[in-house]
């Protein structure tokens, strides 16, 4: 990932620096997740508000094979995005996760960050990208629709929100990067 750090600009010209997560980011990432509403963190299989989970992420053997990026404003994490392969036998597929701090939503950061993660998927020659989200999330479907993702399945009452004791539907949307091969050259030129 020699193309980082990279500068993004929000609609109000605020500069965001995007770069790979570093092991020194554990504390800052913990602080970032601690300021995101808990019901929005249910897409993660682990409790990302736990320092133990954060440390486990960085000890994970797949750390070097995943694209893990943070967006920073004045050295403070305001976005976290990951794109990781789905396993040994599903190495052609990747899962994309993106969380933007509530204060910075609606300013273009999510779409720009999502675009970078899709580019990384193209660069790494993934064929299929999936995104999991909860049915009550109103912002991610807009981004997914803009990029051509299609909801493929709904797992009814799949996620339990411990704080409210409610169960929520988990939606899995996907995108075939093979359909996007002809655009690879275009996107490669944008992000060199």
Q: Report the number of distinct structural domains present in the chain.
A: 1
Residue 103, domain CATH:
3.40.630.30
Render each residue's pLDDT in the chain as its tens digit; 192 residues: 568 999 999 999 999 999 999 888 888 998 999 898 887 887 777 778 777 777 776 656 555 557 899 999 999 999 999 998 876 667 788 999 999 999 999 999 999 999 999 989 888 888 899 999 988 887 888 888 888 899 999 988 888 877 778 888 889 999 888 765 545 554 555 555
State the sign of the Cα–Cα–Cα–Cα dihedral 179, 112, 43, 24. Answer: positive
Structure tokens belonging to residue 139 = 């912002």
| 164: in domain | yes
Please check whether residue 166 lies inside any domain of the structure: yes
pTM for this entry: 0.83
């Amino acid at each position: 990932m020699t193309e980082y750090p990279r500068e993004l600009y929000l609609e109000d010209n605020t500069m965001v620096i995007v770069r790979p997560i570093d092991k020194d980011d554990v504390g800052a990432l913990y602080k970032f997740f601690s300021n995101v509403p808990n019901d929005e963190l249910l897409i993660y299989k682990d409790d990302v508000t736990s320092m133990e989970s954060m440390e486990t992420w960085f000890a994970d053997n797949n750390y070097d094979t995943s694209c893990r990026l943070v967006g920073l404003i004045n050295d403070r994490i305001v976005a976290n995005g990951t794109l990781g392969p789905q396993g040994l036998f599903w190495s052609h597929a990747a899962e994309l996760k993106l969380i933007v701090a509530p204060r910075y939503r609606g300013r273009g950061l999510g779409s720009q960050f999502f675009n970078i993660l899709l580019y990384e998927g193209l660069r790494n020659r993934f064929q299929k990208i999936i995104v999991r989200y909860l049915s009550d999330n109103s912002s991610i479907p807009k981004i997914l629709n803009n990029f051509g993702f299609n909801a493929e399945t709904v797992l009814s009452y799949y996620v339990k929100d411990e704080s409210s004791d409610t169960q929520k539907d988990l939606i899995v949307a996907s995108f075939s990067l093979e359909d996007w091969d002809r655009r690879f050259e275009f996107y490669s030129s944008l992000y060199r």
